[in-house]
Structure 1
């Protein structure tokens, strides 16, 4: 049953072997960065759940040519992409960095054009932008380089309401940061965001009720998307519109029905200061996490702009 769900969610090209790559091995570059095909390859910056080996190489089935950890002075990490109330209130996004902000850190994967199209297919949405990346460790003959990354612009975010990621999602980011040996201070910075926790009986009942309402929508919409998208990962406009409408209605339901009934489902904060606290509090990953991963992709759908229009 689990493999059937994964195929529905992640498409016909999903890695269905059931084998999750060893994170210790995945974190090692396939070849020395940059690869011999650097000019022809696509450079893709991961900063959120794609830092995790289980997500990027396991469920998405991507095979990087090489990889390098970087900092991005022009961007900062933000959690303003609305997901599922009570369960996954916010997902990672980026925004332009202001003076007091922590600069973004992540990993740039060198991938083939075919694997890049697969990334766009499995991500479901976002706008593609190019940013300047600076390697965290010296790379011979290269002080900086340009890379593509994904962002949800303001119209696709819920910035007018405070919101937090779940413990599951925060742990996924920290695990990815650890697999790639990003600086401990940056890992603690991610952890210091804190996470949403359903504390009252009302909130816990709401968590179950809302999840049972939303997950069938996620499975249905992405089951369709994987079969009607073209080779570049672009779905028909009618499907994009349907997904945006459905998730807009979910948050309308939250604002006007679920929140008055079940209480706060996006900003009840559990504070932590260190990455170790997040890892210690998080439970083991399960196959149902795949459903929650897809929720992130659904919420971002329809915000990707044509690459030719990006700076």
Structure 2
């Protein structure tokens, strides 16, 4: 009897141990090691006033912190606070009217085709004017329109257009210490990929709430914030064929015309708006925008961005081959940048050139071999028809032939209708 009782007790202990193990938090449910975004206070007006563009840049500033404008994956706490280990002192949502958000910074084909970047706005829109006349409603449908709807005629629709955002860049300005700002520079390529620039920004009002003591509304004043930006270099001007005194390459020849310039210049894709960011990268941006309660219409725009998706088996094969070939070297160089970076987070010049040359060679191998054998690694391929070329993209000839067939059918229909008269 005692043996049975002891066995039952052992079984109960085993059940309790299993239940305790099941109750332990998994890696997905584990509490993150970084504080939530909601714990970061709003930047004080006094600190923003210290960064006013009206201040004399030659005068010594009392500010001992940096104001850093984040617009990409650094919006997400998972990246900025978790991966990079930054601890912001304060933050404020801002609008940067001088820039637009783009995704033209080349990354790794098939895995991370591009990353977020900013580009200067070429034309700032005029402020909206009040309407002079009441709005006009569209005219009612004509009988012919109704008859067309009843007959079920389907007319060709225009191809889907990429979502646009005409209101400038929306982001978050973090107030960080000099040590944390050096960490940002170091983890963003050590100055080899981005340039540190200052841009005027305007603080956005806090989310709608009912404060205990409503402040007196004031006009927002712009202030300067640091941000990271990679300019898109223009093409080198072609050589003048009529000039016969050019001679061989020499020290007086412009660097852009030398054969080695394309290896040391930043990677430049032919179509800056062609590549699509990965779903993982876009999720970090949308999650960060929700965490900071950025404007709803801007969040809706971010959710409309289409992510790069592999739709062909050969693209999946190319992804793993490209990863095995280049990703170890990529991580090795990135680790070197963290080791050799100085106290400001910037890498030596030789290491910066090495990183740029590696990125150029990586994309040269993609253009010369991978895109021809394994398909498009920058943009989602909607179908896998025989009309598509080996790279997975729809060629201009196939698009033109389809349109000519459609247009030819429409012309035949018009001729038959005219013959009835």
1:71 aligned onto 2:183: no
In 1, are the aligned partners of 2:267 and 2:359 still within 8 Å (CA)?
A: no
Deviation of 1:113 after TM superposition, in Å, equals 1.6
Structure 1's 269 and 185: CA in aligned 2 closer, same or farther, altered over 3 A?
farther
Matches within 5 A, 1:98-117: 98-99=122-123, 101-117=166-182
Q: State the partner residue of 1:210.
A: 322
Structure 1's 265 and 32: CA in aligned 2 closer, same or farther, altered over 3 A?
closer
In 1, are the aligned partners of 2:311 and 2:381 still within 8 Å (CA)?
A: no
Aligned residues: 251
Q: State the partner residue of 2:231.
A: 153
Structure 1's 30 and 193: CA in aligned 2 closer, same or farther, altered over 3 A?
closer
Where does the alignment leave 5 or more consecutive residues of structure 2 unmatched?
1-29, 51-62, 126-165, 207-214, 234-265, 383-421
Matches within 5 A, 1:246-261: 246-261=358-373
In 2, are the aligned partners of 1:29 and 1:68 still within 8 Å (CA)?
A: no
Structure 1's 29 and 129: CA in aligned 2 closer, same or farther, altered over 3 A?
farther
Aligned equivalents of 2:342, 2:116: Cα separation in 1: 26
Deviation of 1:144 after TM superposition, in Å, equals 2.1
RCO higher in 1 or 2 (8 Å CA, sep ≥ 6)?
1
Matches within 5 A, 1:111-130: 111-124=176-189, 125=191, 126-130=194-198
Aligned equivalents of 2:339, 2:352: Cα separation in 1: 14
Matches within 5 A, 1:249-288: 249-268=361-380
Q: Which has the larger strand fraction?
A: 1
- Give the TM-score taking structure 1 as reference length: 0.75
In 2, are the aligned partners of 1:70 and 1:135 still within 8 Å (CA)?
A: yes
Aligned equivalents of 2:267, 2:333: Cα separation in 1: 20
Aligned equivalents of 1:159, 1:247: Cα separation in 2: 12
Deviation of 1:28 after TM superposition, in Å, equals 2.0
Aligned equivalents of 1:50, 1:148: Cα separation in 2: 14
Deviation of 1:177 after TM superposition, in Å, equals 0.5
Match of 1:266, SS state, is coil
Comparing 110-119 and 33-42, the one that deviates more: 33-42
Deviation of 1:214 after TM superposition, in Å, equals 2.2
Matches within 5 A, 1:21-36: 21=33, 26-28=36-38, 30-34=40-44
Q: State the partner residue of 1:132.
A: 200
Where does the alignment leave 5 or more consecutive residues of structure 1 unmatched?
1-17, 271-311
Q: Can you list the C-alpha shifts for 1:167-201, whole angstroms capped at 9, x where unaligned? A: 11111110111110112211221232311111011
Deviation of 1:234 after TM superposition, in Å, equals 1.6
Aligned equivalents of 1:147, 1:43: Cα separation in 2: 5
Q: State the partner residue of 1:51.
A: 75
In 2, are the aligned partners of 1:174 and 1:190 still within 8 Å (CA)?
A: yes
Q: State the partner residue of 2:111.
A: 87
Aligned equivalents of 2:69, 2:334: Cα separation in 1: 24
- Give the TM-score taking structure 2 as reference length: 0.56
Matches within 5 A, 1:161-200: 161=271, 162-200=274-312
Q: Can you list the C-alpha shifts for 1:134-188, whole angstroms capped at 9, x where unaligned? A: 1110697652211110101113353523211011111111011111011221122
Q: Which has the larger radius of gyration?
A: 2
Q: State the partner residue of 1:20.
A: 32
Deviation of 1:98 after TM superposition, in Å, equals 4.0
In 1, are the aligned partners of 2:105 and 2:114 still within 8 Å (CA)?
A: yes
Structure 1's 225 and 81: CA in aligned 2 closer, same or farther, altered over 3 A?
same
Question: Which residue of 81, 86, 109 maps to 1:62?
Answer: 86
Comparing 134-143 and 25-34, the one that deviates more: 134-143
Q: Can you list the C-alpha shifts for 1:93-117, whole angstroms capped at 9, x where unaligned? A: 0001244734110100011122111
